[in-house]
Structure 1
Amino acid sequence: MTVKLIPDYNEILKFKVPLTTGEKQMVDCLVSYLESIPYRDFEIYVQPNLFFKRPDIVVLEPNRSLWIIEVKDYQPSSYMVIDNNGEMTWRLRKDERVHAYPFRQVEEYRRDLLEYASPLTQQSIDSKDEQGKQRFGCLIRSALFLSNYSQADIAKQKIKNQYIKVWGKEILQNQSGLKKFFEPIYKENLCLSSRETCDFRMILNPGENGKNEPEKDFKNIKYRNFVQSRPGKQKARGSAGSGKTTLLAKRVANAAERLETNQAILVTYFNITIGNYLHDKIVAEAGKNLHELGVDLQHFNSLFRWKRDGNRYWIASLKEIDKKYQAIFIDEGQDFEYEWFKVLEASYLAGDGEFVIFADQNQNIYGQKMEQQVDDTSMTYQLPRTPIPGRWNSFDISHRHSNPMITTLANHFVDAYLDKTISISDDGIFINEDETLASQKIIYNYSAHDFDADLAAREVYRYMEAVGNADSNFSINDLAVLSTDRKLLRSLENKMRAMGEIFKDISTTFPPISDIDDSKYQNLDQKTDYDKPYKMKFYRNTGVVKMSTIHSFKGWESPYVVLVIPSRKNLSEDERVKRHDLIYTGITRAKKGIYILNYDPAYHDFFRQLS
């Protein structure tokens, strides 16, 4: 009989945005009640990072069940509750403005738990028992605690939901409602399996994968000045490897120091996989976790509810209607549309807040609209339109490539294919004198034949051996395999796993063949829905080889990269032009060494001359 609080009380007390009165009351109530239940173990997660969303409380009973509890400290006198076609909304009495959708919020947490689980867990939890009873409804139960409402208030305003329990403040003293809510599941086929338990644990408590160390302070005065947090709006452009992410992380850490308790920071981005990388960088620079810093790290799409018209999506409403941030930082700004910047500023930024956009004009891999703009060096670039007037702050000193040959290769590629005025300076790069030239080579291999996964897997292994012999500090964690083609990567990953223990575990941004049953595999490469849980659980320090599409690896870096360029046989002209941006992005992910395995004759002469 144990109840484990995650994080523990000491950590909870360090939250920059403290628990509300109602949240603290419910946590204390749950600890007291669950400790009184004999022969059962519970884990109480307080504001866990559900991949950067934060349900108030999640309770897990290993190998049994899971509960979600959302807490709202609304005052009944301030709100009226409206049933709008079956959806209950809280509106302010003074102006009838919509304030919140708490039931929808809880339902989204339930869906997220399942969506971010592995395909095997998704399939098993979505299944039904022999009586046709769905496991999902039995396994994941949920409640809404209205800390300032009495049960009479709840009944009077007809606050109810078919699938979500609604508690008033009486639940804190009269715990019969808790007894029914936490009733155990006795049917074994309706309980969580050990694999499902493990999967949900990883989702709720992903941990601090690997070592997170802060980068050295910048020597360049322009960089040093820009990391200083201050109110106002700024925009920064920089080429790949110029230290933009480190600039962002250091500035976020400084903003957390500058701001007061209860003042929050939003860091947002468009590429799902970059979230974990940003998390590690920010935590490393600040030496504190996101709760202590008051930082919300959110994928841009998750901040809003969207509507679709054909292939076009638009923002329908906000998810956090009254939440304001004293600082907002936007990474990879070239992925954003102008209207997205505007709605972020208008909806989420406090009046005198800090609003900073970071962008790289050469990584516009989603084809967003760009405009010719001038930076503070009087150079002109195609950059995203923003609501911030004035020139862009430019940052082009390389802090990524300890191999000058990669910098040279990237600059030549820009000149040959991207038709953009840019160069990456080698000033300020950190070169380890112990690293031999052998570990820093650019290796190039061309094949005029169709892609062969067996041969490619052997080439990856050969390259890994060569790097290991040349670089005494090499770890398998230092290797990433990238391509523009998911189907190619999936077949390559399958062959690599078959080669032996060293490739037994590979971290991917897509479901490997081994995780997908035959029926789903039919349409796997036409659907990206299955990728999401893998992208969300893709970390930089997992101790294994990483394999990713270039789209998903944008913003990341790796000491060594194998870049597989597939044939362009079935690409449209537009896709062939966009491919240049992707190949550039792939090249610039490497810090020390790169092996380019090319199946596209259009690039052959270029790489042959430069490698």
Structure 2
Amino acid sequence: MSNERGIHPPLLEHAKLRQPLTAGEQQVFQMFNQSLTPDWEIYIQPHLNGLRPDFVLLNPKVGIAVFEVKDWNLNAMRYFTKLDEWGHPTLWAEKDGKEFCLQSENPVTKVNLYKKEIFDLYCPRIQSERGWATITAGVIFPFAPAEQVKVLLSPFLKTTQGDDHAKYQPVSGFSEISTGNMELVFPEASRSHSFLMSEDLAKDLRSWLVEPDFSSTQRAPLTLDRNQRSLAETRTESGYRRIKGPAGSGKSLVLAARAARLANEGKSVLVATFNITLWHYLRDLIVRDLDAPKQIRNVRFTHFHLWCKHVCYEAGWELRYDALWANGREDVLNTELPLLAAEGVMQPGASRYDAILVDEGQDYRPLWWDVLRKACKPSGEMLLVADATQDIYGTAKAWTDDVMKGAGFPGGRWAQLSVSYRLPPDALNLARSFAEMFLPEDVVDLPQPEQGSLDLYPCHLRWVQCSPDNAKVVCSEEILALMHQTGKNGLANADITMLTGNMSSGAEVVSRLNEYNIRAVDTFGSDHRRRKMGFYMGDAKIKATTLHSFKGWESRLLVVYVTEAANAQSLALVYAGLTRLKRSQEGSWLTVVCSAPELNRFGTYFPDHAIGG
């Protein structure tokens, strides 16, 4: 029966889940898979706009069910409830004389929230009154008696609809799971039809339940071509290597594969980026090639200025570090802090690494590279990867041949990656055209197509030209339109990514999405540095960030919001955005919303060109 129904993620990939199923969750899944009719789809740890229920069941003819599973042994410690300061019951436990609150883990509170959000937000076409009965919200304790569970949770099981709705909030335990008693675990499973449910309602919910493309990709080992694999598995005689290549040519893959190989050997590795958000992407790549998850401990992730700060603190120079910022001088980041770190890294006890790998090297200044070299152990490795076409800070031109020789690189050429494995062919051609029209003439490192890929990776390319006055409205509407592509083609709403050149424009779009009760994980606002630390593609919400912060990343559902194209840096940013689209045989979608009049003519090259607003 498991081959007939929809199971997400697929059965063969359950052993690779980033959050493995507990023993109880495995039992519950086996029962659902064996006992439910094939019309029932099973979603395991689905992405639900930021919520992560244990199981969601969906049958277009019958209804929806959400379940929370707890492996708690109610005899291992004392579980009880007590009233909070507002007189509301809360869930507690006591062990070794210490009490701790479990209300955040209260399974009834969780499933009630899931049910309410499904009803209010994700299935808005459910009938407002009777449709509440379409959704079952169940609690399962596979290792505790059901009656004991019901006594413990009784203060939370009261429903505003009355006792008639008790069957829509079933509570089951050890006996029901071990015997596969589906009538008690999920009473509505025996129904064959409900006039309150429809395929349209199922489509509404699927777009939130389907596992995002990025999450499924995380379970696959890195795939490298012969050239990439050679670079990842070897070192030069000097230990220094520089790699250049256009967007999507696999520079980050090579860096990640090399880091994984060294970590597997027990070597200490420092992975340094320019932007904070790239850490998460590189870490996700590296873990895919590790022999064991624990090997990730051998890899330290940082951006250059944070590394400088840590060097100063290791040397005991907190006051010297703080003094740099006393007058808010502009040259602190570029010069003064690196020079202080260069002094600090030579102090006794400073951290040294067997290998230092730098991604997006075109954003680094030669001085920064020289300071990092001091932290590399004798006979260690240094790797620099770069793409001059994405020189959004104007620093790439500083890397002259003479500078390279003084930076530890012997004579000879860069190692070159040319073929783009990221971009669909049609998107690649548009990106090349943009570079040829708007980037400096001396930039020749453009992506080359892979042989034989022309008909394998369909993509949908749309350009919407609009005025600055209505751009945020147009952008939010285009994001909503992309939501119609999810729930199929291996895509989920969490795959949608919006990129923009500045934080204020992005914040306006996110605010408008909030009006539709659509949550986004974003890097906008005064606390943007903190938000960047929490930005990763595996998050269950729609993504929104700046073009700067998304360099190196990729997505199959992309909205690029262009507000400026008047100078070299802004044009390099637009090019970077155009090259973030990830190819797939199931299709990719790129929408550009542009309020910069300088690019209106280029927009007409898109197969789908429109005037917004």
1:279-325 C-alpha deviation (Å, 9 max, x unpaired): 11111121533655511112221221353562111222347843211
CA contact (8 A) 2:262 2:268 kept: no
Q: Residue type matched to 1:497 in 2?
A: N
Map 1:14-25 onto structure 2 (within 5 A).
none
Deviation of 1:428 after TM superposition, in Å, equals: 6.1
Looking at structure 2, the residues matched to 577 and 384 of structure 1 have their Cα atoms a distance apart, in angstroms, of: 28
User: How many angstroms apart in 2 are the aligned matches of 1:584 and 1:217?
Assistant: 25
Q: Is 2:418 aligned against 1:396? A: yes
Q: 1:411/1:455 Cα in 2 relative to 1: closer, same or farther (>3 Å)?
A: closer
SS at match of 2:242: strand
Equivalent runs, 1:435-514 vs 2, <5 Å = 437=458, 440-448=459-467, 450-465=469-484, 467-468=485-486, 472-500=489-517, 503=518, 505-511=519-525
> 1:411, 1:422 within 8 Å by CA — same for their partners in 2?
no
Instruction: Report how far residue 536 of structure 1 moved.
Output: 0.2
Asked if residue 423 in structure 1 is aligned to residue 446 in structure 2, the reply is yes
Inter-CA distance 217–488: structure 2 relative to 1 (3 Å threshold): closer
Which blocks of at least 5 consecutive residues in structure 2 are unaligned? 1-18, 20-93, 106-213, 310-320, 583-587, 608-613
- Alignment-mate amino acid for residue 558 of structure 2: V
- How do residues 310-321 of structure 1 correspond to structure 2 at under 5 angstroms? 310-313=329-332, 314-315=336-337, 316-317=340-341, 318=344, 321=349
Map 1:43-122 onto structure 2 (within 5 A). Answer: none
What is the aligned partner in structure 1 of residue 389 from structure 2?
A: 362
CA contact (8 A) 1:334 1:383 kept: no
Alignment partner of 1:228 is 2:228: no
1:213·1:285 contact (CA, 8 Å) conserved in 2? no
Q: Which structure has greater strand proportion?
A: 1
Residue 606 of structure 1 and its aligned partner are, at CA, apart by 1.3
* Distance (whole Å) between structure 2 residues aligned to residue 218 and residue 292 of structure 1: 20
List structure 1 runs of 4+ shifted beyond 3 angstroms.
40-43, 208-211, 214-217, 287-293, 317-321, 371-374, 382-387, 428-433
Question: Structure 2: which amino acid aligns with 1:39?
Answer: K
Q: Distance in 1 between matches of 2:444 and 2:532?
A: 33
Equivalent residue for 2:351, pick from 313, 316, 323: 323
Do the aligned residues in 2 keep the contact of 1:267 with 1:298 (CA within 8 Å)? yes
Structure of larger gyration radius: 2
Alignment match, 2:554: 557
Give, in whole Å, the separation in 2 of the partners of 1:217 and 1:209.
16
* 1:407 corresponds to 2:428: yes
Taking a change above 3 Å as real, the CA distance of residues 567 and 299 of structure 1, as seen in their structure-2 partners, is: closer
TM-score (norm 2): 0.56
User: Which of 76, 92, 97 is equivalent to 1:38?
Assistant: 97
CA distance in 2 between counterparts of 1:462 and 1:541 reads 22
Q: Is the 8 A contact 2:263 2:295 kept in 1?
A: no
Superposed CA offset, 1:523-543 (max 9, x none): x5xxxxx10111000011112
Local SS of the residue matching 1:562: strand
Residue aligning to 2:287: 283
Which residue of 201, 216, 223 corresponds with 1:217? 223
Please, what is the CA RMSD of the aligned residues? 3.3
Aligned to 1:531: 528
Residue-pair matches, total: 373
1:278 positional shift: 1.0
1:415-464 deviation digits (Å, cap 9, x = unpaired): 0011221321111687895x6x4xx1111111145234334312221233
Question: Of 302, 307, 319, which aligns to 2:306?
Answer: 302
* AA aligned opposite 1:446: Q
Task: Report the residue type matching 1:587 in the other structure.
Answer: L
Counterpart of 1:357 in 2: which secondary structure?
A: strand
Cα deviation, residue 554, structure 1 = 1.1
Q: Alpha carbons of 1:290 and 1:410: their partners in 2 closer, same or farther (altered >3 Å)?
A: farther
Separation (CA, whole Å) in 2 of partners of 1:452 and 1:606: 18
Kept after mapping to 2: 8 A contact 1:290/1:296:
no
Secondary structure, counterpart of 1:441 in structure 2? strand
Work out whether residues 445 and 598 of structure 1, in 8 Å CA contact, stay in contact via their aligned partners in 2. yes
Give SS of 2:531's match.
helix
Alpha-carbon distance between aligned partners in 1 of 2:298 and 2:479, rounded to the nearest angstrom: 42
Percent identity of paired positions between Structure 1 and Structure 2: 24
CA distance in structure 1 between the partners assigned to 2:220 and 2:293 by the alignment: 13
For residue 248 of structure 2, what is the aligned residue in structure 1? Answer: 241
Residues 264 and 327, structure 1, Cα contact 8 Å, conserved in 2: yes
Deviation of the 1:397 alpha carbon: 1.0
Change (3 A) 1:558 1:431: farther
- Counterpart-to-counterpart distance in 2, 1:415 and 1:264: 41
For residues 223 and 428 of structure 2, the distance between their equivalents in structure 1, rounded to whole angstroms, comes to 22
Judged with a 3 Å threshold, the aligned counterparts in structure 2 of structure 1 residues 567 and 410 are, in CA distance, closer, same or farther, namely: closer
Partners of 1:42 and 1:279 lie apart in 2 by 33
Q: Secondary structure, in 3 states, of the residue corresponding to 1:583?
A: helix
- Aligned positions of 1:192-211 closer than 5 A: none
Aligned to 1:125: none
* Equivalent residue, structure 2, for 1:87: none
Cα pair 2:362 2:395 within 8 Å, conserved: yes
Q: Choose the corresponding residue for 1:607, options 603, 608, 611.
A: 603
- Structure 1: distance between partners of 2:601 and 2:431: 15
Q: Distance in 1 between matches of 2:404 and 2:510?
A: 36
1:609 aligns to what SS in structure 2? Answer: coil
CA positional deviation for 1:368:
1.4
What CA distance in whole angstroms lies between the structure 1 residues aligned with 2:516 and 2:405?
45
Match of 1:595 in 2: 591
Q: Distance in 2 between matches of 1:244 and 1:554?
A: 12
Say yes or no: does 1:251 pair with 2:258: yes
Distance (whole Å) between structure 2 residues aligned to residue 590 and residue 369 of structure 1: 24
Residue in 2 aligned with 1:122? none
1:29 corresponds in structure 2 to none
* 2:497–2:558 Cα contact (<8 Å) kept: yes
* Residue 580 (structure 1) aligns with: 571
Contact 1:450 1:567 in 2 (8 A): no
1:339 alignment partner AA: L
1:209 deviates by: 7.5
- Residue identity matched to 1:457: S
Q: CA separation in 1, counterparts of 2:410 and 2:550?
A: 30
Distance 1:322 1:455, change over 3 A: closer
Summarize the alignment of residues 121-200 of structure 1 with structure 2, pairs less than 5 Å apart: none
Deviations 1:150-196 (A, max 9, x none): xxxxxxxxxxxxxxxxxxxxxxxxxxxxxxxxxxxxxxxxxxxxxxx
> Kindly tell me: are residues 442 and 358 of structure 1, through their superposed partners in 2, closer, same or farther at Cα, counting changes over 3 Å?
same
- Structure 1 residues 562, 36: CA separation in 2 closer, same or farther (over 3 Å shift)? closer
Q: CA deviation at 1:216?
A: 4.6
- 1:527-563: CA deviations, max 9, x gaps? xxx1011100001111221001101111111112111
Change (3 A) 1:238 1:538: same
Verify: 1:269 aligned to 2:273, yes or no. Answer: yes
Is 2:388–2:396's contact at 8 Å kept on the other side of the alignment? no
Q: Distance in 2 between matches of 1:242 and 1:606?
A: 24
Pair 1:431–1:508, CA change in 2 (3 A) = farther
How has the CA–CA distance of structure 1 residues 448 and 217 changed in structure 2, closer, same or farther, with 3 Å as cutoff? closer
| Distance 1:224-1:373 versus aligned 2 partners, 3 A rule | farther
Q: Kindly indicate whether the alpha-carbon contact (under 8 Å) linking 1:268 and 1:300 is maintained by their aligned counterparts in 2.
A: yes
Deviations 1:313-364 (A, max 9, x none): 1222347843211111111111111111111112x11101011111111111
Would the alpha carbon gap of residues 449 and 324 (structure 1) be closer, same or farther in structure 2, given more than 3 Å must change?
Answer: closer
Residues 271 and 299, structure 1, Cα contact 8 Å, conserved in 2: yes
Letter in 1 for 2:553: W
